[in-house]
Structure 1
Amino acid sequence: MSDLRVRFAPSPTGYLHIGGARTALFNYLLARKEGGTFILRIEDTDVERSTQESVDAILQAMDWLGLSYDEGPFYQTERFDLYKAKIQQLLDEGKAYKCYCSQEDLDAKREAAMARGDKPQYDGTCRALEPRDDDTPYVIRFKSKEAGVTSFNDRIKGTISFNNEELDDMIIQRTDGTPTYNFVVVVDDAEMGLTLVVRGDDHVNNTPRQIQIYEALGYAVPEFAHVPMILGSDKKRLSKRHGATSVMAYRDMGYLPEAMVNYLVRLGWSFGDEEIFSMDDLVEKFSLENVGRSAGVFNPEKLLWLNEHYIKTGAPQRLGELLGEYLTTLGYPPVDGIDLAEVVKTLQDRSKTMVEMAEKAVFYVTDSVEFDESAAEKFLTADQKPVFQALADAFGQCEFTPEGVEAAFKGVLKETGLKFGKVGQPTRVALSGGTSAPGIFEVILVLGRERTLQRLNGAIARIG
């Protein structure tokens, strides 16, 4: 075990989105590579917007992606006593103060500052006031440094500096007594022993404020690494207009977790010209040094390409289990006598998503064939009736193996004097209902003798 301690700290106000999942993945890979500790913390201080449903969705997405955590989940709402104690510490040490300015006062100050061409920040009106004994509502503000520079060495972006005069006295406790994000995140990261904070670069501007709080509370300041944001194809921040942003929405659309992991890691990280990475590969090869500074662009086509790759190369047994779940969702639960692993083998090269595979596999698991009417009209004709009957007789007697089925089929061709194309396509329609099914022998073997005969006899009855 190393001393590295990293975390993923989502807010449970919705699903786990693409950007959050990538941050979680980067932290997970660093912890696994270095033998460190990966912590999950649920930042649920926004009580009005946080829901148990969102917590469950986040945990489910983490599990689906295979991002197991070593500690947690910890919930901020269970740590309010700690936050209050730390705020009181700052008050007692003169590093924070009560601010009685009303919202109207603050709005007026902001407008006046903007009118002067100044930055609209708090002017420190209550900084030197003695605390009141009455019931006047107040917030608690942190005393930011008024001069000098706050700098840090970002592991991705390099050295970043902020003039302290640009940082006003931020609120660390609201009028209702609840602490604010920039305060609790410092207390949590410090108390949980974080040594490296990896998060999105939308937090860069929060970092100097947080560093000052670390120092004021006597905490060691961790390292920081801010990963670039993810943009849509129009180079604007990724949102619903670019397609689904929920990780689990992609599972529902038939994407495999290994495809999503592979795609997420490549949104901002590279390793030479390699494109395909298993989780084990990533644990070995991932490093912050290869994370780029520019934003990643979300490309649905690339994700689909990766998904197709993982379906083609996936283990049929595992994909068969997944296929059963997708078929059930479509309303066609698996049936006795149909081996879904064998179904997968016939459709792996024909499917880009598991939903697409499930839709193509429906004919295998239904009791009766649903015919494409144009295909049935073209191929289920009167002259096919004796051919289907000959096939039914042959398949009823042959050894039901790949060699036996092929020999029986060729026997019917020889008996009727017909070419393969004249028999194969009508038989495919009789067995599957359409013309785009897998190879005819594959279909026959997966259906089995009983279902094959049943469908040939059904086609004969339809023609008759």
Structure 2
Amino acid sequence: MSVITRFAPSPTGFLHIGGARTAIFNFLYAKKHQGKYLVRIEDTDSKRSTNEAVQAIHDGLKWLNIFPSEKIIYQSQEIKSHVKIAYKLLEKGFAYKCYLSSEELTLLRIKSRENGFPIKSPWRENTNNSNDKNFVIRLKMPSSGTTTIRDLVQGEVSVNNEILDDMVILRSDKSPTYMLSSVVDDYNMGITHVIRGDDHLNNAFRQIQIIKFMNWQEPSYAHIPLIHGSDGLKLSKRHGATNIFDYHKMGYTSEAMFSYLLQLGWTAQNENDFDLKKNISEFSIEKINKSPARFDIQKLNSINSKVLRQKNLNEVLDLITQHFSLELKNIQKKRLKALLPELLKRINTFIEIEDDIEWITSDDFVCTDIDNLLILKDKILNIKEISILLNKCKWTKDDIDNCLKQYIMDKSIKFKDIGPALRVALTGKTNSPDIVTVIYELGCTITLNRLNYTY
């Protein structure tokens, strides 16, 4: 049997971190078994679904490089087949028309909560087939016995059927509910493995009844634990961004986010391995943990930092120039690229380089920070003397390094006595990459101009 998985987001908001991880798990499982990974946009809720949300889903999946094996399916285009199944279930006696008014339904719900019983409409046993339009179709849940799901993550889980509500599968406006549409679409798409968040486990016990009533092949279920914040509570905005694409805007790489989300709830053999082929070959549902994973931004930062340092410098340069909309001359690009290895040792995300762009790319850069200028002016004589020595040396890193060491030795001082001021003159900051590399890459003309600038 060929494996077919699906990621089925609802376009009522952005692509959540948890949803993105679900997509990754579905993608990897299908690829490992040479199967198909499909995407279905569940947009039947026309009041809440938006084009912006659909685009956010596309953008997030595209950024993570999780592309479906076939054209994306939109659930709203399959409504006729959902309605058809609702009436088939009605004809087979597995569903019934319910004519409860909104007031009657409210009272039934209150009574149900008070007594701890599931919602069972009095119309359940009524054989009236009135053609009145004001009815919903409810699934007639079994009232006895148990329903068991052998979940690939949760293990064998059972519920007593007597607690299951007679869920609505077709609304009074003849629109299908999610509980019906999802099952019908899974069947029509040939889904073999339903891998989704464990908040859908309760839905599974209800949805599987439709599958049994229709005598369809049951898919394998894998309900994965949700992602929590560092405090153990359900992940929300108070823990930081929950929209996956926000992390792209924050300077994280798609490789780092993919790798980190893969580790959330899954035991990787090598958590520092960013090789997609290895991830596919090593992935298995059996390695998914049963307990909720905790989102740790520090861990993500660490992974992203490593990814940036391993990336081709041209790729990092492209990320930076695109993000900041930079239009650089070749000489400016050359300087920025040359200093990237030093800069990447000091940052977690590529947008942290923003403070360094001006002093690297601008020929006319001068320090404007008042506090740093005080440091510079206190050592201005030393700066001028170093400028004279640099003007005489050969422009190699070794010669520049020897020049600075000789000056420190001749003055009987330590580098910390003049280092901060030298950095301020050249970069505007007291904390910068290796000063010899900075001087060398800026070049003789720019270096001397900055050291000789009259403040």
Q: Which moved more, 1:448-457 or 1:227-236?
A: 448-457
2:263 corresponds in structure 1 to 266
Q: CA deviation at 1:210?
A: 1.2
1:122 corresponds in structure 2 to 120
Structure 1 residue 431 and structure 2 residue 437: aligned? no
Q: CA deviation at 1:226?
A: 0.5
Q: Give distance in 2, aligned partners of 1:90 and 1:129.
A: 14
Structure 1 residue 356 and structure 2 residue 352: aligned? yes
Query: What does the per-residue CA deviation read over 1:336-386, in whole Å, with 9 as the maximum and x for residues that have no partner?
Result: 412233231121111122122233343212342233322222224552464
Q: CA deviation at 1:52?
A: 1.2
Indicate which of 374, 377, 386 corresponds to 1:377: 374
Alignment of 1:90-239 (within 5 A): 90-115=89-114, 117-135=115-133, 137-239=134-236
Q: CA deviation at 1:388?
A: 5.4
Query: What does the per-residue CA deviation read over 1:282-335, in whole Å, with 9 as the maximum and x for residues that have no partner?
Result: 11211111111111122222222222222333332221211223433xxx6544
Q: For residue 427 of structure 1, what is the amino acid of its counterpart?
A: L
Alignment of 1:232-251 (within 5 A): 232-251=229-248
- TM-score normalised by the chain length of structure 1: 0.89
Q: For residue 101 of structure 1, what is the amino acid of its counterpart?
A: L
Structure 1 residue 313 and structure 2 residue 313: aligned? no
Aligned pair count reads 449
1:283 corresponds in structure 2 to 280
Q: Give distance in 2, aligned partners of 1:257 and 1:327.
A: 18
Report the 3-state secondary structure (helix = DSSP H, G, I; strand = E; otherwise coil) of the residue aligned with 2:331: coil
1:445 corresponds in structure 2 to 440
1:57 corresponds in structure 2 to 56
Contact 2:96-2:137 at 8 Å conserved across structures: yes
Q: Give distance in 2, aligned partners of 1:118 and 1:86.
A: 31
Sort the Cα spacing of 1:3 and 1:266 in 2 relative to 1 into closer, same or farther, 3 A: same
Could you tell me the percent identity over the aligned residues? 36
1:346 corresponds in structure 2 to 342
Q: CA deviation at 1:131?
A: 2.2
Q: CA deviation at 1:46?
A: 1.2
Q: Which moved more, 1:149-158 or 1:3-12?
A: 149-158
Sort the Cα spacing of 1:118 and 1:379 in 2 relative to 1 into closer, same or farther, 3 A: closer
Contact 2:386-2:407 at 8 Å conserved across structures: no
Q: Give distance in 2, aligned partners of 1:238 and 1:27.
A: 21
Report the 3-state secondary structure (helix = DSSP H, G, I; strand = E; otherwise coil) of the residue aligned with 2:195: strand
Contact 1:42-1:75 at 8 Å conserved across structures: yes
Query: What does the per-residue CA deviation read over 1:229-275, in whole Å, with 9 as the maximum and x for residues that have no partner?
Result: 11223322111122221112222222222222222122111145x43
Q: Which moved more, 1:4-13 or 1:121-130?
A: 121-130
Q: Give distance in 2, aligned partners of 1:129 and 1:325.
A: 66
1:69 corresponds in structure 2 to 68
Structure 1 residue 22 and structure 2 residue 21: aligned? yes
Question: What are structure 2's unaligned runs of at least 5 residues?
Answer: none
1:337 corresponds in structure 2 to 331
2:7 corresponds in structure 1 to 8
Sort the Cα spacing of 1:177 and 1:353 in 2 relative to 1 into closer, same or farther, 3 A: same
Q: CA deviation at 1:39?
A: 0.3
Query: What does the per-residue CA deviation read over 1:411-457, in whole Å, with 9 as the maximum and x for residues that have no partner?
Result: 98399767672655433222111211111221123323443344334
- TM-score normalised by the chain length of structure 2: 0.91
Sort the Cα spacing of 1:122 and 1:265 in 2 relative to 1 into closer, same or farther, 3 A: same
Q: CA deviation at 1:207?
A: 0.8
Q: For residue 443 of structure 2, what is the amino acid of its counterpart?
A: G
Q: For residue 47 of structure 1, what is the amino acid of its counterpart?
A: S
2:385 corresponds in structure 1 to 387
Contact 1:387-1:412 at 8 Å conserved across structures: no
Sort the Cα spacing of 1:411 and 1:359 in 2 relative to 1 into closer, same or farther, 3 A: closer
Report the 3-state secondary structure (helix = DSSP H, G, I; strand = E; otherwise coil) of the residue aligned with 1:325: helix
Q: Give distance in 1, aligned partners of 2:179 and 2:228.
A: 25
Query: What does the per-residue CA deviation read over 1:129-170, in whole Å, with 9 as the maximum and x for residues that have no partner?
Result: 3122344x1111122223222222101111122222222221
Report the 3-state secondary structure (helix = DSSP H, G, I; strand = E; otherwise coil) of the residue aligned with 2:271: coil
Query: What does the per-residue CA deviation read over 1:181-213, in whole Å, with 9 as the maximum and x for residues that have no partner?
Result: 110001111110111100011111111221111
Q: CA deviation at 1:125?
A: 2.3
Query: What does the per-residue CA deviation read over 1:35-78, in whole Å, with 9 as the maximum and x for residues that have no partner?
Result: 11100111111111111111111111111112122123111111
Report the 3-state secondary structure (helix = DSSP H, G, I; strand = E; otherwise coil) of the residue aligned with 1:71: coil
Q: For residue 23 of structure 1, what is the amino acid of its counterpart?
A: T
Q: Give distance in 1, aligned partners of 2:435 and 2:408.
A: 17
Contact 1:124-1:169 at 8 Å conserved across structures: no
Report the 3-state secondary structure (helix = DSSP H, G, I; strand = E; otherwise coil) of the residue aligned with 1:60: helix
Contact 1:371-1:429 at 8 Å conserved across structures: no
Query: What does the per-residue CA deviation read over 1:64-97, in whole Å, with 9 as the maximum and x for residues that have no partner?
Result: 1121221231111111122222223223333322
Q: Which moved more, 1:263-272 or 1:24-33?
A: 263-272
Q: Give distance in 2, aligned partners of 1:410 and 1:114.
A: 80
Contact 2:359-2:427 at 8 Å conserved across structures: yes
Report the 3-state secondary structure (helix = DSSP H, G, I; strand = E; otherwise coil) of the residue aligned with 1:21: helix
Report the 3-state secondary structure (helix = DSSP H, G, I; strand = E; otherwise coil) of the residue aligned with 1:80: helix
